[in-house]
Amino acid sequence: MKKFALLGHPLAHSLSPLIHQAIFDAVGIKGTYDLIDLAPEELSGRLPGLLQTYQGLNVTIPHKQAVLPFLTGLSKAARRCGAVNTIARDGKGYNTDTVGFLSNGLPLAGGNILLLGAGGTARMMAFESVAAGANSLTLYCRTAAKAQALVSSLQAAFPTSGCQIEIASTPEALSDSLQSATVLLNGTPVGMWPHAGGCPVDPSLLHKDLVVFDPVYNPTPTRLLLNTRKKGGIAHGGLGMLVRQAIASQGIWNPELQLDSDALAAAILPALTRHLLSDHPIKILLIGFMGSGKSAVGKVLAQKLGIGFVDLDEVLEQESGTSIPTMFATVGESGFRAVESHTAKRILSRPGSEVVSAGGGLPVFGANRTMIRNTNTLVVALDAPFSTLWERISTGPAGSRPKANGGEGSTEALYQQRRPIYRSFCDYSVESKTSNTPAQTAELVLQGLGLPSLS
């Protein structure tokens, strides 16, 4: 039995045991993978013994640099960025985060790179960008001294590089850099669970010529990725990096095995996604005009992800013991909206990953949009031309949609008013075609989210 372990502090939510077990199962390694929570002051006393006990160690925060004095040698990548995440039995240190990062195939060579943050991951991405031959690298970090320190170490490591390295020190400079950037790298935790509504840059500044890499993997996808895809740009998430750095570590520890990274990554992804949805719960909120298929698509989407489905209108009817048209008639639209907001907040804030379909009016109100952004929710709009929607609305049960009671003309006016709100507020938009079944539209949503179908 081969023994491997991860050293870090704290390690509560590590996905590494799950990933390494999946690799063991896929390639037939008889091994174990332990989590060893090691406070910084314990490192020097315990590392030599651990190197004897284990065939290989992974190292994470806060030990990636602290282990360097104990190692017998460093790989080129580890030396370049001055940090190690993998130690072999002979005490040599490697940095397989770089393998995970580079596996995205980002157009770093000749690119104009904008890098957010100046922590450990940002540092690795900065060194790899300059090493790959970036044309320019602009750093944006809320702590100016850290950005300056990173620039100094890059200049020291690459004295003859032609890469123009600079700092964007104001939000205006960030906005200018984003306009001319070809690659955006997020080195901050902004957008990470439990704040999935966050985005490290104003989504309206993203553009179709950007390739974005966001190492954050909980949630998968992040709002940054969805908004990049919404603008037509290319976006890569952190789950692939996480899986590929683990595969690369196993490759170092088991040099006799020829590991097929692509096949292994594809095999591991469904179990990881299931685990993330259970351990780091998020809501996927479907919005759109009446008739856009939110309930039908939502049900199938939830099935495909193996999570619950909630139709907000159904909850409102069940809890009030009456139909929505009757609620409109008895308490008026404003009374209905107050109950709707309150119920939506309760559902979007409760534990557990769920797909939630909302009535067409919910996101129209600014206070509801703010409430949604303060929850762990990603927003997907189902979009269709009015003619398609009217065909569906007008063939449904008469009187079941109070906002369509005025007939086609007033309903189209409402559509024209609401559609721009759906389009600008959503993190991603999918066309709900009549020629597609709900299952096909749900597949399109999954593709946009970059998630596998789990059932």
| Residue 64 annotated as catalytic | yes
Q: How far is the CB of 239 from ligand NAP (least distance, A)?
A: 7
Among 165, 184, 192, 371, binds ligand NAP (CB under 6 A): 192
Residue 74: phi and psi, rounded to 5, are -135, 145
Distance CA 286, CA 24 (A): 38
> How wide is the angle at C-alpha 200 spanned by C-alphas 198 and 205, nearest 5°?
110
Nearer to ligand NAP, 82 or 189 (CB): 189
Distance CA 212, CA 223 (A): 12
Q: Is 216 one of the binding residues for ligand NAP (CB under 6 A)?
A: yes
Among 43, 71, 226, 242, binds ligand NAP (CB under 6 A): 242
Q: How far is the CB of 142 from ligand NAP (least distance, A)?
A: 5
* Residue closest to ligand NAP, measured at CB: 119
Q: Is 241 one of the binding residues for ligand NAP (CB under 6 A)?
A: yes
> How wide is the angle at C-alpha 298 spanned by C-alphas 293 and 304, nearest 5°?
135
Two tokens, residue 65: 């640099």
Nearer to ligand NAP, 60 or 436 (CB): 60
Q: Is 215 one of the binding residues for ligand NAP (CB under 6 A)?
A: yes
Two tokens, residue 210: 């950007």
Residues 6+ apart with CB under 8 A from 152: none
Q: How far is the CB of 163 from ligand NAP (least distance, A)?
A: 20
Q: Identify residue 67 by its one-letter amino acid code.
A: V
Two tokens, residue 27: 């390639």
Stretch that binds ligand NAP, among 37-45, 136-144, 305-313, 443-451 (CB under 6 A): 136-144
Rg of the chain's alpha carbons, rounded to an integer? Answer: 25
Catalytic residue among 64, 283, 294, 304: 64
Distance CA 16, CA 19 (A): 5
Nearer to ligand NAP, 242 or 312 (CB): 242
Name which of residues 162 to 181 contact ligand NAP (CB under 6 A).
none
Stretch that binds ligand NAP, among 138-146, 248-256, 352-360, 399-407 (CB under 6 A): 138-146
Q: Is 139 one of the binding residues for ligand NAP (CB under 6 A)?
A: no
Two tokens, residue 85: 């995440």
Q: How far is the CB of 108 from ligand NAP (least distance, A)?
A: 17
Q: Identify residue 181 by its one-letter amino acid code.
A: A
Q: Are 257 and 29 in contact (CB under 8 A)?
A: yes
Among 120, 233, 293, 450, binds ligand NAP (CB under 6 A): 120
Q: x/- site string to ligand NAP, residues 43 to 72, per CB under 6 A?
A: ------------------x-----------
Q: Is 122 one of the binding residues for ligand NAP (CB under 6 A)?
A: yes
Stretch that binds ligand NAP, among 50-58, 157-165, 214-222, 395-403 (CB under 6 A): 214-222
Q: Are 85 and 92 in contact (CB under 8 A)?
A: no
Q: How far is the CB of 308 from ligand NAP (least distance, A)?
A: 26
Q: How far is the CB of 368 from ligand NAP (least distance, A)?
A: 24
Beta strands in 295-398 (DSSP E): 308-311, 354-357, 377-383
Q: How far is residue 255 from each of residues 56, 248, 258, 313, measured CA to CA in Å?
A: 12, 10, 7, 57
Distance CA 111, CA 129 (A): 9
Q: Is 82 one of the binding residues for ligand NAP (CB under 6 A)?
A: no
Distance CA 243, CA 31 (A): 17
Q: Determine which helix (DSSP H) or strand (DSSP E) holds 179, and give its type and residue range.
A: helix 171-180
Residue with tokens 């999935």: 196
Q: How far is the CB of 314 from ligand NAP (least distance, A)?
A: 36
What angle do the packed helices 438-449 and 223-230 form, to 10 degrees?
110
Nearer to ligand NAP, 198 or 306 (CB): 198
Among 93, 117, 291, 359, binds ligand NAP (CB under 6 A): 117
Q: Is 141 one of the binding residues for ligand NAP (CB under 6 A)?
A: yes
Residues 6+ apart with CB under 8 A from 369: 363, 425
Among 31, 93, 219, 238, binds ligand NAP (CB under 6 A): 238
Distance CA 67, CA 427 (A): 41
Q: Is 146 one of the binding residues for ligand NAP (CB under 6 A)?
A: yes
> What amino acid positions are annotated as catalytic residues?
64
Q: Which residues bind ligand NAP (CB under 6 A)?
A: 61, 97, 100, 117-122, 141-143, 146, 187-190, 192, 215-217, 238, 241-242, 245
